Amino acid sequence: MKRWVAAATAAVVLLGAGWAIAQRRRHAPPPMDRPPLEAGKEPSEDVFTFARLRYGSWRRSWEIDYPDADLNLSYRLAQLTSLKVDPQGKVVDITDEQLRNYPFVYMVEPGGLELSEAEVVALRKYLLGGGFLMVDDFWGEDEFNIFYRQMKRVFPERDAQEVDISHPIFHAVFDLKEKPQMPSIDVWRRTGLTYERDDAHHPDYRAFYDDKGRMIVFICHNTDLGDGWEREGEDPRYFRTFSEKQAYPMAINVIFYAMTH
């Protein structure tokens, strides 16, 4: 994973002076700016792969927004940064030995998270060995408590700490003035609100750190960044308000921060 850090430090710079991006039609991504990897060829260590974590749950929540969110974010990373990006992304199990090849992994909707003992051990080993986990799209106190109980099995001696807006992760590439709160497009169209539940009015960002103070888990609670990636092509207003100004800037910031720390 150390080689990833050096590559990412040099590579994650914005292409051009402007941020504005054109909206795309859903399910119809334009050609990548760079040629895709050859079929069957494994990504090398200088190629960033957006890896989605498949985890134990009483429902198949790990696959929410898949694959469009992963494909769209991978495309935007290639378009807006100088990173070499695997356009297909990857789904990886917590207990898969290949997990160590992906220094950044994404977990979605962990409100029903149920880790096996093997997953607890493997996730702890991955995170303390240099890995980084981004958690997204769960709302309210009940879902947070379910997720947090599972994470305390992974790190019984550690507590999640609030991440203030002054933290560098909110300013690593894009200078965000407030913590993003993304509703799903369906909730936003129906209510016009940025929150989805009565006990989830405010975006809640927390993190776990290792013994050296390195952030190893970034928790995006009371927000749904993945919908901003997946549903970017369905409504121009949603795209301009949420995808362009919040979902993609936050994702790029997190990836840049994770890969350079």
* pLDDT tens-digit series, residues 125-175: 999 999 999 999 999 999 999 999 999 999 999 999 999 999 999 999 999
Looking at residue 209, what is its pLDDT?
98
pLDDT of residue 46: 77
Exposure string of 102-133, with b = 16+ CB inside 10 Å and e = fewer, is bbbbbbbbbbbbebeeebbebbeebbeeebbb
Listed residue (251, 182, 229) closest to 23, CA to CA: 229
pLDDT of residue 60: 83
Q: What sections of 23-91 are H helices per DSSP?
A: 68-80
Q: State whether residue 46 is helix, strand or coil.
A: coil
Token match 């050609």: residue?
31
Task: Please say if the pLDDT value at position 119 is more than 70.
Answer: yes
Task: Catalogue all structural domains in the chain, each as residue range(s) with its CATH number.
Answer: 46-260 (3.40.50.12140)
- Phi, psi of 149, rounded to the nearest 5 degrees: -60, -40
Taking the model in full, what pTM does it have?
A: 0.88
**In which residue are the tokens 């710079």 written?**
13
Tell how far CA 195 is from the center of its chain: 19
pLDDT at 38 over 70: no
Residue 52 parent element (H or E): strand 51-54
Question: What tens digit of pLDDT does each residue of 68-111 get?
Answer: 999 999 999 999 999 999 999 999 999 999 999 999 999 999 99
- Each residue of 177-225: pLDDT tens digit? 999 999 999 999 999 999 999 999 999 999 999 999 999 999 999 999 9
Per-residue pLDDT band for 62 (boundaries 50, 70, 90) equals very high
Sorting pLDDT into bands at 50, 70 and 90, what band is 29?
very low
Distance CA(113)–CA(230), nearest Å, equals 22
pLDDT band at 20 (very low <50, low <70, confident <90, very high): low
